[in-house]
Chains A and B, each alone.
Chain A
């Protein structure tokens, strides 16, 4: 039964997207309802799958078969995929509901909901993948849904550029991902996770090759989860509508990279030094992104860098061979970060699409529900004790503390920065007085259909870490993470929280302007500028040189002989040419005849 449910969960959003594209496009409201209905249905079915606990594998489609290579759309239904599906469909359904209001008057509403449905289809495919090839297929499809949704307002140059940048950056990661798949297949002739796991366990792969392949696979994560050095696309992706940011660029798609690492944790465990590289990339991303977040003024960009930073935590956990902790943080983060993004969406909606936090202020009284839910989600993000984020961050700090002396201070520093920048955001947006009467002056609470998802997410942000919720979704072994015991990481966690919040309050309470100016952070360590320079140098100049070479060498000198010949015969033919079509064609016909005769003799 579960396999039927899973197939429906996968295919229904595809039908919804196709139906909107093919017929419903002109009827925007019906399109929106179809997409939302499909999202709610998949949520119900995901709960049923999780409840039934019948783990199985099923081949949905034998996709390609030639020369001994068989690629199939195979669904793997186990605790991990079912739990992840609940996150995807849960956040997905709430975001669909929220979008019904948020995108109410948008001219491209039908297109938007078709994009959301396409995304749900692609993401489901990643989650249920039983083999690497299928995962790659849906990996790319997720990339294109993200491209479509980031570029939803495509008439804006910035949105069009951001969409392109996101897709291209991801393609660079996918380049490595595909090489990794090919290396693993060449060594083991397996692409299914089960088959690979057995082959690795049997020691069929040389350690060097295994490490290289693992790192190549990890490139996919670096792209999709926006890890250093491919992190540059995610902040720009905030050009998309805010519900998209909540669903795709916070809770689910960017977490797919981490989910994939959890799936291939058997590779990481066997890969030796490659695991250290993964842990360090995660740690560096977490710290760098947190530093950048401290100086952003766009409410969504603060959250985007925060997402980068939290994803860094999860990747670090996977690299430290604590993929359970990574998955746990993925789970809790999905709820509170989606809550934060939808909250910011409510704020932006109320503030007439203004996103600069320094133009907001004093929203606490005008939007009490948003204020409260945003507060609870913030508490979870900065790991206030006994919120969901506290339990999961604790698990990661624990892993860092046990495994590597140097990564622990990095993780703790990131925790401090997180508390600091979120306090800054919260204080500046909700407290003080409205700094711009046009923006915050007329703000009022958002409609019910937008409030309800906020409330649900805020409740989950607090409670999702407890065994009562995490256990059934992720598995009973996750119950151990929500049991408090005193340890160095726990104490450090509370200290960094107090310090970060204290510092944030001291610096930002009552301010109307940014008191701290650190250009390096505000300009994101100049990564974009650096990359732009490199790309310009490499791609454009080489391409220009290539074009000149193409014209000069190959056309001018290399095949110059032919060209001279061409002109000569051209002139000769022109002389013979009688100027009318028939004569012209006859000449060519005669030529063919001569050639055929030549062949015969």
Chain B
């Protein structure tokens, strides 16, 4: 796969039209606001600001800022809204921010889910400051990781976001939350270490070829192309495992479902919806463009295909066997990562484009489902299927919104998830085969398609068990959800429908990036 040197970074140029100037080193960027508004709000809470209002204000402002950025963004014009603040000169490291189409999609995902997550009220009185500030800090960490163009900050922001995640599960979770909190801490801590090793290896190996050591992603990308094939492959594999653990790639997935099941709603929404996408974003931002020989190595592709089929087929079956709503959702979230990996494994722009769409869509839809799942728990006190049923009668709006989330997540056209999946499937068949027969990727795609049937089985079973049929014992006298759940849910549903009807809205942003990652196949 011959790639132009620089890959996704090769089309960067001073983006004069968007009003930013990359040569001014001390410049502030609107992206800084996206990171620091939530942090400022969290600090203000510590000094007695009303927690909920502060959180909603920060998250709402961020949504507006991100939408403004999206409208002024010029697709295909490389990194924009850049600001560079050097921290160290040698090795080159700085608090540098900037976004291209790929990061912009993740920014939009982050602000949407954040606003929805802080809208959800804590089930019990008290401890509001901790509740809302944790959600905001997770959001700020994720945002920082997505807009950083420096490897160190990219990594550190993600770590920062994990801390409130762990704390919230441990302190405000439900059920077996202490165990779940330790499990996710250890797993993700381990994953982060592997990732750190991989990133360090990448930087060192690149510096050995290109002279000065740098953490600047653009410079690093240019340097890393000099690394020999074998080393590229090994670094790629290390990154795949490191990021993979964070994304719950099979068989490193078992932290995910219990953690999401016991996490408080905003944390389940933000982690499964946004923070988990850090790993996928990292693969597309670091591993794929900087290590093209690793990405195109057949043996790595085969490993990835086997693992992702584990996500889709094995976890699919596991999900079908679940008897509680939160475990179905948690496992389904693990399963759907398999499709995004499939898009990445395809190695072509169609698959990458589909993967990015699905990252966005999955993030929104799983956040929606977790928010509504929390509402079910609050209304009935249980999530066990055998005690539920017929909730759509007493809570029609909850039933309708959950139904939309459920159908979105199983890839119904009209919702963004379908647009992502269908592009991924086409991507699986887009590479010209030499023998005229089906290769690994094509067979994997066919098996993954069977996963679409399986997800319909578990989702419709869950929907049937909770919302349809005769009322279960825990459901008598149940009332519908109030505005505090309706508004965030409607926000997410609207996002899914708009991008589902018009996926080109997102693809227009992403297309130049993914087509630079892989030459257009024709």
Residue B348 CB within 8 A of the other chain: yes
Chain B residues near A365 (CB, 8 Å)? Answer: none
Q: How many residues of A contact B (CB 8 A)?
A: 72
Partner of A66, one of B166, B510, B522: B510
Chain A residues near B503 (CB, 8 Å)? Answer: 63-64
- Judging by beta carbons under 8 Å apart, are A66 and B515 in contact? yes
- Judging by beta carbons under 8 Å apart, are B452 and A66 in contact? no
Q: Which of B155-163, B261-269, B286-294 contacts A (4 or more CB under 8 A)?
A: B155-163
Pairs A-B, 6 closest by C-beta atoms: A67-B349, A66-B353, A543-B321, A160-B468, A67-B350, A566-B186
Interface of chain B residues 467 through 522 with chain A (CB within 8 A) = 467-471, 502-504, 507, 510-511, 514-515, 518, 520-522
Interface of chain A residues 126 through 179 with chain B (CB within 8 A) = 133, 136-138, 140-141, 144, 151, 154-157, 160-161, 163-164, 167-168, 171-172, 174-175, 178-179
Q: Which of A309-317, A320-328, A405-413, A583-591 contacts B (4 or more CB under 8 A)?
A: A583-591
- Judging by beta carbons under 8 Å apart, are A599 and B199 in contact? yes
Residue B200 CB within 8 A of the other chain: yes
Interface 0/1 of B233-266, CB less than 8 Å to A: 0000000000000000001111000000000000
Interface 0/1 of B190-227, CB less than 8 Å to A: 10100010011000000000000000000000000000
Distance A63 CA – B461 CA, assembled complex (angstroms): 31
Question: How many whole Å from A576's CB to the nearest CB in chain B?
Answer: 14
- Judging by beta carbons under 8 Å apart, are B390 and A569 in contact? no
- Judging by beta carbons under 8 Å apart, are B457 and A168 in contact? yes
Question: How many whole Å from B224's CB to the nearest CB in chain A?
Answer: 17
Residue B95 CB within 8 A of the other chain: no
Q: A66-B507, A67-B521 given. 12 additional CB < 8 A pairs?
A: A67-B348, A68-B521, A68-B522, A137-B413, A137-B414, A160-B464, A182-B426, A554-B254, A559-B254, A563-B183, A566-B186, A588-B163
Q: Which of B20-28, B33-41, B277-285, B312-320 contacts A (4 or more CB under 8 A)?
A: B312-320
Q: Which residues of B contact A (CB under 8 A)?
A: 88, 91, 93, 130, 152, 155-156, 159-160, 162-163, 166-167, 171, 182-183, 185-187, 190, 192, 196, 199-200, 251-254, 314, 317-318, 320-322, 348-354, 390, 392-393, 407, 412-414, 418-419, 422-423, 425-430, 436, 442, 445-446, 449-450, 452-453, 456-457, 460-461, 464, 467-471, 502-504, 507, 510-511, 514-515, 518, 520-522
Chain B residues near A151 (CB, 8 Å)? Answer: 468
- Judging by beta carbons under 8 Å apart, are B423 and A66 in contact? yes
Would A592 and B163 be within 8 Å (CB), given that A140-B412, A171-B452, A599-B152 are in contact?
yes
Distance A20 CA – B520 CA, assembled complex (angstroms): 43
- Judging by beta carbons under 8 Å apart, are B426 and A185 in contact? yes
Residue A65 CB within 8 A of the other chain: yes
Question: How many whole Å from A221's CB to the nearest CB in chain B?
Answer: 17
Chain B residues near A565 (CB, 8 Å)? Answer: 186
- Judging by beta carbons under 8 Å apart, are B186 and A595 in contact? no
Would A68 and B167 be within 8 Å (CB), given that A155-B469, A167-B456, A562-B190 are in contact?
no
Residue A544 CB within 8 A of the other chain: yes
Would A186 and B442 be within 8 Å (CB), given that A67-B514, A171-B453, A172-B453 are in contact?
yes
Would A581 and B171 be within 8 Å (CB), given that A183-B429, A595-B196, A599-B196 are in contact?
yes
- Judging by beta carbons under 8 Å apart, are B452 and A550 in contact? no
- Judging by beta carbons under 8 Å apart, are B413 and A168 in contact? no
Residue A206 CB within 8 A of the other chain: yes
Distance A154 CA – B391 CA, assembled complex (angstroms): 10
- Judging by beta carbons under 8 Å apart, are B182 and A600 in contact? no
Chain B residues near A156 (CB, 8 Å)? Answer: 469-470
Residue A510 CB within 8 A of the other chain: no
- Judging by beta carbons under 8 Å apart, are B453 and A141 in contact? no
- Judging by beta carbons under 8 Å apart, are B453 and A164 in contact? no
Distance A151 CA – B419 CA, assembled complex (angstroms): 26
Closest to B130 in A: A581
Residue A483 CB within 8 A of the other chain: no
Distance A175 CA – B452 CA, assembled complex (angstroms): 8
Question: How many whole Å from A147's CB to the nearest CB in chain B?
Answer: 8
Question: How many whole Å from A203's CB to the nearest CB in chain B?
Answer: 15
- Judging by beta carbons under 8 Å apart, are A600 and B514 in contact? no
Closest to A584 in B: B167
Q: Name the residue in B155, B254, B426, B471 with the highest tally of chain A Cβ atoms < 10 Å from its Cβ.
A: B426
Chain A residues near B162 (CB, 8 Å)? Answer: 588
Chain A residues near B464 (CB, 8 Å)? Answer: 160-161, 164
Chain B residues near A550 (CB, 8 Å)? Answer: 254, 314, 318
Closest to B178 in A: A570
Chain B residues near A62 (CB, 8 Å)? Answer: 504
Distance A174 CA – B185 CA, assembled complex (angstroms): 41
Partner of A154, one of B354, B392, B445, B518: B392
- Judging by beta carbons under 8 Å apart, are B507 and A141 in contact? no
- Judging by beta carbons under 8 Å apart, are B426 and A589 in contact? no
Q: Which residues of A contact B (CB under 8 A)?
A: 61-69, 71, 133, 136-138, 140-141, 144, 151, 154-157, 160-161, 163-164, 167-168, 171-172, 174-175, 178-179, 182-183, 185-186, 189, 206, 209, 539-540, 542-544, 546-547, 550, 554-555, 558-559, 562-563, 565-567, 569-570, 581, 584-585, 588-589, 591-592, 595-596, 598-600
Chain B residues near A554 (CB, 8 Å)? Answer: 251, 253-254
Q: What are 24 pairs between A and B in contact, CB < 8 Å?
A: A61-B502, A64-B507, A65-B507, A66-B354, A67-B348, A67-B427, A68-B521, A69-B350, A136-B413, A136-B422, A140-B412, A141-B413, A168-B453, A175-B450, A185-B429, A186-B442, A543-B321, A555-B254, A559-B251, A569-B186, A584-B167, A592-B156, A595-B156, A595-B159
Chain A residues near B450 (CB, 8 Å)? Answer: 175
Question: How many whole Å from A391's CB to the nearest CB in chain B?
Answer: 37
Would A168 and B460 be within 8 Å (CB), given that A137-B413, A599-B199 are in contact?
yes
- Judging by beta carbons under 8 Å apart, are B350 and A68 in contact? yes
Distance A567 CA – B348 CA, assembled complex (angstroms): 43
Partner of B470, one of A66, A155, A555, A588: A155
Distance A559 CA – B160 CA, assembled complex (angstroms): 25
Would A64 and B167 be within 8 Å (CB), given that A140-B413, A164-B460, A543-B317 are in contact?
no
- Judging by beta carbons under 8 Å apart, are A539 and B156 in contact? no
Distance A65 CA – B504 CA, assembled complex (angstroms): 7
- Judging by beta carbons under 8 Å apart, are B511 and A65 in contact? yes
Question: How many whole Å from A162's CB to the nearest CB in chain B?
Answer: 11
- Judging by beta carbons under 8 Å apart, are B163 and A589 in contact? yes
Would A562 and B187 be within 8 Å (CB), given that A66-B350, A164-B461, A185-B429 are in contact?
yes
- Judging by beta carbons under 8 Å apart, are B456 and A69 in contact? no
- Judging by beta carbons under 8 Å apart, are B520 and A68 in contact? yes
Distance A199 CA – B419 CA, assembled complex (angstroms): 26
Distance A558 CA – B461 CA, assembled complex (angstroms): 31
- Judging by beta carbons under 8 Å apart, are A543 and B163 in contact? no
Chain A residues near B320 (CB, 8 Å)? Answer: 539-540, 543
- Judging by beta carbons under 8 Å apart, are B470 and A157 in contact? yes
Closest to A134 in B: B413
Chain A residues near B412 (CB, 8 Å)? Answer: 140-141, 144
Would A546 and B518 be within 8 Å (CB), given that A144-B407, A581-B167 are in contact?
no
Question: How many whole Å from A580's CB to the nearest CB in chain B?
Answer: 11
Distance A183 CA – B160 CA, assembled complex (angstroms): 46
- Judging by beta carbons under 8 Å apart, are A69 and B430 in contact? yes
- Judging by beta carbons under 8 Å apart, are A546 and B318 in contact? yes
Distance A182 CA – B468 CA, assembled complex (angstroms): 35
Question: How many whole Å from A561's CB to the nearest CB in chain B?
Answer: 10
Would A167 and B186 be within 8 Å (CB), given that A67-B518, A68-B522, A543-B318 are in contact?
no
Question: How many whole Å from B159's CB to the nearest CB in chain A?
Answer: 5
Distance A206 CA – B437 CA, assembled complex (angstroms): 11
